[in-house]
Structure 1
C-alpha cells in the first residue's frame, strides 16, 4: 500500500484549502463586480437613450432634421456613445423612416435597425457593443424612436484590471500562507519525530519498558500519555500470558486424555446416527411417492367430477327427447299431430340434440386433456410444449382442488406462441403443487385471493414467476420452506412434502433453481428457472 508523509501532506492540504478558498472567493468577487459594472453600463446606455429621445421631441415634431443633426454632433465628446439613429413614424402609413443620425469619428455608419427596434426596448449587451432603443413620445403618442449603440471597451478594460489585481493578491496570499504552513510544520514535526523514534525502538527491540517524554504541544502530550498507559498494560499482559502458557501446558496433557475418551464415544454415536439417517431417507422416499399417488388420486377424482357433469346433462337431454318422441309417436299413430305441435317438436329436438352434442364434445375435450396430463405425469422424456395448451390442461386438472374461481382467479401470462422443449410431467406437477399450496395454505379462511403465473423465455432458460396475495409465510417457516415435513397444517392433513417435492423436481429432474420470497400477510413469490430448448431446434 502506498504511504504518504504527514509533513508533506499537511503542506499540501493547507495549500489546497487556501487555493480553493481564494479561487472561490475571488471568483465570486469578480463575478459580482462584473455583474454590477455590466448592469451600470446597461443603465447608462438606457439613460443616454432617454435623454437623447427627450431632446429630439421638438426637432422631430417640426421635422427639422438639420437642427437635430447639429444637436447630435455635440455627442462627439462622449467616448461611450458610438452611433445614434433617429427614426420618425409616418403619421399616415405608420412606417419608420430615417430622420437623423450620429456616428463617432473614425467609425463607419451602420444600417438602420427598423426591424429590430421593438426588441431593443431593454439594453442588449453584444460581444463588441451595447445597443438599446427608446421611444420618442409627444403628448403621450409615440412619434419616433432613438437607436443608440455604445462602446463595450470600458467593460473589457474593467475585466482585465480586476483580473490582474485578483491574480496579484492571490499570489501574495498564497506565498504568505506557504511561509506560515512551513513554520507550523516545524512546530508539529519535532514532537512527532520523537514519538516515531521511540515507537520504532519498541518495535525493533520489543522493549515495552520504554516511555515517551512530555511535549509542549497538548495533543502530542496526551498521545504520549495514552501510549505510555498502553505500553504498561501490554507489559503487564505479557507477564500474565507467560504465566497462562505455563498453566496451559499442564492442562494439555489432561485434555488429550479426555479428548481420546470423548472421540471414542462420538464415533459410536455417529454410527448410530448414520443408521437412523439411512432409515429416514428410505421413509422419506416412500412418503414422497405417497404424495405423488395422492396427487394422482385427486386428479382421478377430478376426472370423475368434471366428466360426470357434461355426461349427466347429455343423459338428461336424451331422456327428455325420448319422452317427447314417445308422445309424438302416440299422436302420429292416432293421427292427431298438428302443424304447430310438429314444429315445436322439431325445435325441441334441435335444442336437445345441440345440448347433447355440446356436452359430449365437452366430455371428450376433458378426457383428452386429462389423458395428456396423465401421460405427462408418467413421462420423463423431453417433448415440445405449447404453453397455452399446457396451462389450459393444467388448469383443468387442478380445478377440483381450487376454491371459487370467481373469488380466487388464476391469471396466467406468457408471450403469444411460446413453445419450449422440456419434461412436461415434472413441470405440470410443480405448477399443480404450487396452486394447491396457495389454495390450502395461502387462502385459508379468506374470502378472496389471486394467483399470478408469468412465463418468460430468457435465452436458453424458462423463468416462471408464481405469486399469490394470500396470508404469506412466517419468517421461521420461510427459512426452511423446502425442507421435508415442514407444514403449518400439522394434524390437519398436511404432510409437509409438497414444496419439498417441488424443490426436488426443479433442481434434480429439470436441472434448475427455485427461489422463495414471502412477507407475512403479503403473499408469496416463487421464481423457478430451468434450461429449455427451442421448439424450432426440435427434430
Structure 2
C-alpha cells in the first residue's frame, strides 16, 4: 500500500525558514531586552523606596519619643513631591502593653486613606509586590529599643506603563524588520529556484518523451551547476546502458530458444517424479495420523485407569458407612421386638444414622463430581469443536484426571490463572496438550524420588490466550531441542518412549488451535514451553486480569 507523503515547495520552505529565524531572533532579543530593563527599573525602585523608608524611620524617632503627632504629620506631607509613594503609616509601640497603635499617616490625594496594616507587620519586613504596588515595613528604634514601625505603600504603575510603551515600539520595529526580511527572502528564493525549475522541466521531458539525449545548461550557481553536470553524466550512462540492454535482449532471445527444448524434456521427467513423491507422502501421512490417534487413545486409557482409582475411594467409604448403618438398624429392630429399646439407645441410633447418612451422601456426591469431571475431560479429548468454557475449571479437570500419577510423586504443581476466565475455543486440544506436557515432565524431567516444581500460567492479551508451561527438571539437550517436535524423537527409546508426545502437541497447537508454540530449554535448567492461540471471545470481566 503506497503511503501519502506531504510535500512542500522550496520557495515556501526557504521563505518560511528565513522568516522563522528572523522571528525567533527578534522575539528573543526584544523579550530579553524588555525583561532585563523591567528588572533593572524594579530594582532601582526598590532601592529608592528602601532609602526613603530609612530616612522616614530616622526622622520619626524624635516624633515618637516626644509623642508629637502634629510635627510628624507635617513632616510626612513633604512626601507629596515623591509621586510613587501612595500611603505612609506610623505605628507607635506601647512599652507597657507591647501593642501597636496608629500614630500618624500620609495619604496621597489621588489615592485616599489606606487601611491599617498592623496585623501584617511581620509579613512586610521584606518588600512585597502585588497588583502594581510595593509594600514594606521598617522598625523605628533607638539603641536597639523599638519605638514603632513605618509602613510604606508605593506604586510601580509608571514602570509598567513605560514597559508597555517600550513593548509596543519593539513590536512595530519587529513587524518592519519582518517585512524587510520577507522581501529579501522572495528575492533570494527567485535566484535559487529558477535554475531548479529549468532542471525540473528537463527531467519531466525525459520522463514524458523518453528522450535521453537532452542535456542541462550551465548556471551561475556553483552547486546547481554541479547538479546539472551530474544530470548530464546520468543521461550519458543511461544511453550507454540502453544500448547494452538491446544487445543483451538479443542474446537472451537466442538462449531462450535453446532452453525451451531442455525445459520441455525435463518437465516430463519431473511430473513423473512428483507423482511418485505425492503417493509416498500420502502413505506417510496416513500412517502418521493412525499413530497419533493411537497415542491419543493410550493417553485416554491412562486417564480411565486413574478414574477407577479415584472413584473407588469415595464409593468404598460409602459402602462401609451403609454396612455400618445396616448393622445399627438390625440392632434397633431386635431391641424393638424384644421391647428392650431405650430412649438413650434410640437417640444414639439416630445420631449414628445422621453421621453415616452424611458420610454416604458426601462420598456419593464426591464420586458423582469426579465422574462428571472425568466425563467432561473424556468428551473434550474426543471433541474438537468450539465451545465456551472456564479456563480455570478446565485446568482443574485435567489435574484431577492426572491425580493418580501426581500422587505417586513429590512434585509441587502451581497454576496461575484468573478464576472466572471464560473463553471460546476448543477445549479438547487444550486438554490433550496439558496432559501430554505434564506426563512428559513426570516421565522425562525428574529422577525417581526427586521433588520438582511445575508451573502453568495463563493470561490474555489482544484476543489471544498465552499459556506458559515450565518445570525445573533436567532440561533438553540442544540436539534434541532443535528436533523436539519431529515425530519419533525421544530420549527414552528403550524405556517405552514413543517420541510422539511433543509431535502431537505441535499438531494440536498449530492445526487444531491455529496457534504458535516455542520451546526454551537449557540442559540441567528445566524447560519452558510457550503456547499462544487466538480465542473467539472472552468474558469482559476478566479481560483486564
* 2-structure distance, mates of 1:70, 1:474: 106
Asked whether the 8 Å contact 2:490–2:498 carries over to 1, the reply is no
Q: Which deviates more from structure 2 when the two are superposed, residues 472-481 or residues 488-497?
A: 472-481
Is 1:91 aligned to residue 91 of structure 2? no
Q: Which residue of 2 is the match for residue 434 of structure 1?
A: 437
Q: 2:487 aligns with which of 485, 488, 499?
A: 485
* 1-structure distance, mates of 2:224, 2:445: 67
* 1-structure distance, mates of 2:59, 2:368: 107
Asked whether the 8 Å contact 2:519–2:528 carries over to 1, the reply is yes
* 2-structure distance, mates of 1:9, 1:532: 52
* 1-structure distance, mates of 2:198, 2:388: 82
Q: 1:168 aligns with which of 157, 169, 172?
A: 172
How many angstroms does 1:456 deviate by?
7.0
* 1-structure distance, mates of 2:444, 2:29: 69
Asked whether the 8 Å contact 1:42–1:125 carries over to 2, the reply is no
* 2-structure distance, mates of 1:183, 1:444: 88
* 2-structure distance, mates of 1:161, 1:392: 82
> What TM-score comes out, normalization by structure 1 length?
0.75
Asked whether the 8 Å contact 2:92–2:102 carries over to 1, the reply is yes
How many angstroms does 1:170 deviate by?
1.3
Is 1:159 aligned to residue 160 of structure 2? no
Q: Given the superposition, is the C-alpha separation of residues 390 and 193 from structure 1 closer, same or farther in structure 2, using an over 3 Å criterion?
A: closer
Q: Which residue of 2 is the match for residue 336 of structure 1?
A: none
Q: 2:297 aligns with which of 293, 298, 307?
A: 293
Runs (5+) with no aligned partner, structure 2: 321-351, 540-545
Asked whether the 8 Å contact 2:425–2:535 carries over to 1, the reply is no
How many angstroms does 1:395 deviate by?
1.8
Q: Please show how residues 110-149 of structure 1 align to structure 2 within 5 Å.
A: 110-149=114-153
Is 1:67 aligned to residue 71 of structure 2? yes
TM-superposition CA deviations, 1:141-196 (whole Å, max 9, x none): 44322221111222212212321232133133323323432342243234334433
Q: Which residue of 1 is the match for residue 468 of structure 2?
A: 466
Q: Which residue of 1 is the match for residue 203 of structure 2?
A: 199
Q: Please show how residues 76-475 of structure 1 align to structure 2 within 5 Å.
A: 76-300=80-304, 302=306, 369=370, 372-373=373-374, 376-378=377-379, 380=383, 391-402=395-406, 408-415=412-419, 425-439=428-442, 448-454=452-458, 463=465, 465-468=467-470, 470=472
Q: Which residue of 2 is the match for residue 337 of structure 1?
A: none
* 1-structure distance, mates of 2:443, 2:178: 79
Asked whether the 8 Å contact 2:94–2:101 carries over to 1, the reply is yes
Asked whether the 8 Å contact 2:15–2:185 carries over to 1, the reply is yes
Asked whether the 8 Å contact 2:377–2:431 carries over to 1, the reply is yes
Q: 2:532 aligns with which of 522, 527, 530?
A: 527
How many angstroms does 1:241 deviate by?
0.4
TM-superposition CA deviations, 1:23-54 (whole Å, max 9, x none): 23323333333334334434443443333223
* 1-structure distance, mates of 2:476, 2:176: 72
Asked whether the 8 Å contact 2:140–2:148 carries over to 1, the reply is yes
Is 1:9 aligned to residue 13 of structure 2? yes
* 1-structure distance, mates of 2:176, 2:237: 51
* 2-structure distance, mates of 1:443, 1:48: 94
Instruction: Look up the SS of the partner of 1:120 in the other structure.
Output: coil
* 1-structure distance, mates of 2:154, 2:365: 97
Q: Which residue of 1 is the match for residue 345 of structure 2?
A: none
Q: 1:57 aligns with which of 31, 56, 61?
A: 61
Instruction: Look up the SS of the partner of 2:189 in the other structure.
Output: helix
How many angstroms does 1:514 deviate by?
3.5
Asked whether the 8 Å contact 2:509–2:531 carries over to 1, the reply is no
> What TM-score comes out, normalization by structure 2 length?
0.74
Instruction: Look up the SS of the partner of 2:136 in the other structure.
Output: strand
Instruction: Look up the SS of the partner of 2:126 in the other structure.
Output: coil
Runs (5+) with no aligned partner, structure 1: 318-349, 535-539
How many angstroms does 1:130 deviate by?
1.8
Q: Given the superposition, is the C-alpha separation of residues 376 and 94 from structure 1 closer, same or farther in structure 2, using an over 3 Å criterion?
A: same
* 2-structure distance, mates of 1:204, 1:157: 66
Asked whether the 8 Å contact 1:84–1:102 carries over to 2, the reply is yes
Q: CA RMSD of the aligned region, Å?
A: 4.6
Aligned length: 493
